[in-house]
């Protein structure tokens, strides 16, 4: 029996068309119905296609994410729906997928996909990725796994997936954790399951949260700038175990004193933030100044998580620390 899958389209490369005047592509302008109409899917599912946005993914905002979340929750009120697919541009796909993972908890799969090549380009990956996402959304094996990303035959956890190539069809991976499984023609194979994370209910848009990268001889200029311009959260992307320069560390203390949550992450692709050294700018020093460890979250994932927590009314340092330790 065919299963009902709701496909939400939001734009991106996967919905782009060529602009004859410029020779470039207009990202996201193709409506979902037109995009799915180009596919020869041959899937055992009945599709309900709904265009939510038609934008390039660099234009996605938290306001867009809230609209998308509400649309998905409304679709899931229908018990006949077996799963959900979201087509999305690749630039911010990893952030959108993690937002959905943190704010929707339903046993049915929510699968996010996109493409690196437009639908009309030779060798496009658009239709294969859509087909595989639909198969995963309909698969009983993918239930109770939260939001997933399906791309280039791989199935990834929203928390760990990251875009790693600017144009190659093998654009996503999960450093240190690997694929949860894969789609091989018509077969969905799950090899491992992610640890369940708590879900949160945002009641509105989050406040300003900025990412500040630290490198050799950095100071606290951009931390101070973020605070002075109204940031309520700062994701500090440090080096190694999460270290910053001695010159940056005092700015962290000043930010915390002004009520800003500072979460420490690492620029490394694998490993977690952890106190090992006693030097100025080390993780222990930053925690003493009031910063919060971001665990193994990338800076972009940490920003999404802090945004969701603050939008859900969780504004206590200890509670935020526990959420990042989960």
Catalytic residues: 13
Ramachandran angles phi, psi of 21, nearest 5°: -75, -40
Asked whether the beta carbons of 197 and 158 are under 8 A apart, the reply is: no
3-class secondary structure, 89: coil
CA distance 3 to 111: 15
| 181-184 and 172-173 beta bridge pairing | unpaired
Nearest to 152 by CA among 113, 120, 188, 110: 113
3-class secondary structure, 182: strand
Other CB atoms within 10 A of residue 184 CB = 11
Ramachandran angles phi, psi of 243, nearest 5°: -75, 150
Q: Which residues lie below 8 Å from residue 71, measured CB to CB, with a gap of 6+?
A: 8, 50, 52
- In angstroms, the first-to-last Cα distance of the chain is 39
CA distance 179 to 183: 11
CA distance 233 to 309: 11
Asked whether the beta carbons of 247 and 279 are under 8 A apart, the reply is: no
């Amino acid at each position: 029996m065919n299963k009902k899958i709701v496909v939400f389209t939001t734009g991106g490369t996967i919905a782009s068309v060529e602009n004859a005047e410029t020779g470039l592509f207009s990202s996201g302008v193709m409506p979902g119905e037109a995009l799915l109409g180009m596919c020869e899917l041959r899937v055992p599912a009945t599709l309900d296609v709904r265009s939510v946005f038609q934008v390039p993914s660099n234009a996605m905002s938290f306001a867009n994410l809230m609209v998308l979340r509400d649309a998905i929750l409304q679709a899931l009120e229908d018990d006949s729906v077996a799963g959900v697919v979201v087509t999305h541009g690749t630039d911010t796909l990893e952030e959108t997928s993690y937002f959905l993972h943190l704010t929707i908890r339903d046993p049915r799969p929510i699968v996010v996909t996109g493409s690196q090549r437009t639908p009309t380009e030779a060798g496009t990956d658009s239709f294969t990725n859509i087909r595989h996402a639909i198969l995963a959304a309909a698969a009983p094996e993918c239930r109770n796994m939260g939001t997933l990303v399906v791309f280039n035959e791989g199935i990834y956890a929203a928390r760990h997936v990251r875009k790693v190539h600017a144009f190659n069809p093998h654009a996503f991976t999960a450093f240190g954790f690997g694929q949860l499984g894969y789609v091989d023609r018509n077969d969905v194979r799950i090899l491992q399951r992610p640890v369940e994370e708590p879900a949160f209910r945002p009641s509105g848009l989050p406040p300003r949260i900025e990412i500040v990268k630290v490198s050799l001889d950095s100071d606290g200029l951009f931390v101070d700038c973020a605070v002075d311009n109204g940031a309520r959260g700062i994701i500090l992307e440090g080096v190694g175990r999460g270290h910053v320069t001695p010159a940056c560390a005092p700015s962290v203390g000043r930010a915390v004193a002004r009520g800003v949550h500072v979460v420490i992450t690492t620029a490394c692709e694998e490993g977690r933030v952890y106190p090992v050294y006693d030097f100025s700018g080390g993780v222990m020093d930053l925690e003493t100044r009031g910063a919060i460890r971001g665990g193994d979250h990338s800076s972009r994932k940490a920003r999404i998580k802090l945004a969701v927590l603050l939008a859900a009314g969780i504004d206590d340092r200890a509670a935020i620390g526990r959420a990042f330790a989960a």
